């Protein structure tokens, strides 16, 4: 409860009811949909914070109204549906899971993003870090070597650009499939599109940087060079996602994160093909 506002969990549902005090009575005024089944609620720093079975999320509070769209959502540390209680304090929130996990989250003030938690690499185990990032480093190195080779006529190529893209997808799928065993697909499309767009958003400046460094080279096969450039940029995007994305659901990581690689490569190839056709 906060001021005239109160929130109550609707047991077994995916929503929370908001009440407003009117005189000596509490009247229900809103129904807030949550991303996972709620078990506990709290108010703090102009936000309603909801602990669900697998996520914690925040909703901005405007006077006696709660925003219907969350402005922050975090995957729980274990997310084994044993979520218990959440409380807020000045600057953050703490939640517990019955399986033994207690975690702290950041909570910003109204007008800024609400809850935020550990980034991807901060949640990873030593084994996950030790497998994922060396594989990415090898793939990035191979992509960089290939981009340089494509820009120097007569250079020996360690492999073709399309083979790098395919082998990169297979290698990453194998590593992710080995490490991540959470097969839930909650908000599969909405969260997935966010990661895909973020990965491609990083791939664009990475691609421009590669082009700038190799601008004095001459690509005999500009389309292959564009594919190599886009693939390397896509690997940069995937690396960024592994550093920052806290969603370790296997379908999410194996589909949406890896998708950045072929999509970026295809865009690089299309741009190169279009430029070659235009210049003829």
> How does DSSP assign 54-102, residue by residue?
SEEEEEEEETTEE-SS-SEEEE-SS-SS-EEEEEEETTEEEEEETTTEE
- Using only C-alpha atoms, the chain has a radius of gyration, in whole angstroms, of 23
- What sign has the CA pseudo-torsion 110, 35, 183, 95? positive
CATH 2.130.10.10-classified regions of the chain: 5-117
Spatial CB neighbours of 213, under 8 Å, sequence gap ≥ 6: none
217: enclosing H helix or E strand: none
- Identify the architecture of domain 5-117 in CATH: 7 Propeller (2.130)
What is the Cα–Cα distance from 114 to 241, expressed in whole angstroms?
Answer: 20
CB 48 within 8 A of CB 41: yes
Tokens of 50: 């909801």
Tokens of 10: 């609707």
Closest CA to 50 of 61, 35, 29: 35
Q: How many CA atoms lie within 13 A of 82 on its CB side?
A: 10
Closest CA to 224 of 267, 272, 165: 272
Q: What distances in angstroms separate CA 55 from CA 51, 112, 243, one per listed residue? A: 6, 19, 20
Q: What string of pLDDT tens digits covers the 280 residues of the chain?
A: 778 899 999 988 999 999 999 888 999 999 999 989 999 999 988 899 999 998 899 998 888 899 888 888 887 877 788 999 999 988 788 999 888 778 888 776 554 556 666 567 777 889 999 999 999 999 999 999 999 999 998 888 888 999 999 999 999 999 999 999 888 886 788 778 988 999 999 999 999 999 999 888 888 899 999 999 999 999 999 999 998 887 788 999 999 999 999 999 999 999 999 988 887 6
Write out the DSSP string of 110-178: TTS--EE---HHHH--HHHHHHHHHHHHHHHHHHHHHHHHHHSTTPPPSS-HHHHHHHHHHHHHHHHHH
Q: Dihedral of the CA atoms 247, 250, 253, 258 (nearest 10)?
A: 180
């Amino acid at each position: 409860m906060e001021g005239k506002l109160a929130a109550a969990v609707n047991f077994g549902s995916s929503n929370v009811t908001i009440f407003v005090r009117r005189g000596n009575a509490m009247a229900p005024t809103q129904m807030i949909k949550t991303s996972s089944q709620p078990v506990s609620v709290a108010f703090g720093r102009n936000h309603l914070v909801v602990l669900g079975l697998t996520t914690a999320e925040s909703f901005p509070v405007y006077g006696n109204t709660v925003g219907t769209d969350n402005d922050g959502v975090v995957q729980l540390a274990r997310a084994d549906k044993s979520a218990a209680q959440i409380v807020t304090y000045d600057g953050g929130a703490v939640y517990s899971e019955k399986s033994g996990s207690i975690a702290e989250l950041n909570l910003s003030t109204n007008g800024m993003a609400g809850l935020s938690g550990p980034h991807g690499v901060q949640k990873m185990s030593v084994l996950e870090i030790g497998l994922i990032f060396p594989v990415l480093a090898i793939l990035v190195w191979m992509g960089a070597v290939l981009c340089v080779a494509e820009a120097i006529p007569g250079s020996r190529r360690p492999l073709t650009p399309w083979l790098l893209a395919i082998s990169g997808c297979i290698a990453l799928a194998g590593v992710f499939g080995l490490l991540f065993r959470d097969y839930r697909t909650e908000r599969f499309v909405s969260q997935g599109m966010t990661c895909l767009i973020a990965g491609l958003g990083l791939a664009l400046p990475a691609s421009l940087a590669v082009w700038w460094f190799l601008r004095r080279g001459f690509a005999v096969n500009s389309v292959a060079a564009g594919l190599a450039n886009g693939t390397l940029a896509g690997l940069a995007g995937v690396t960024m996602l592994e550093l920052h994305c806290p969603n370790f659901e296997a379908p999410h990581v194996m589909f949406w994160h890896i998708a950045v690689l072929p999509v970026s490569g295809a865009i690089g190839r299309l741009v190169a093909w279009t430029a070659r056709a235009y210049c003829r």
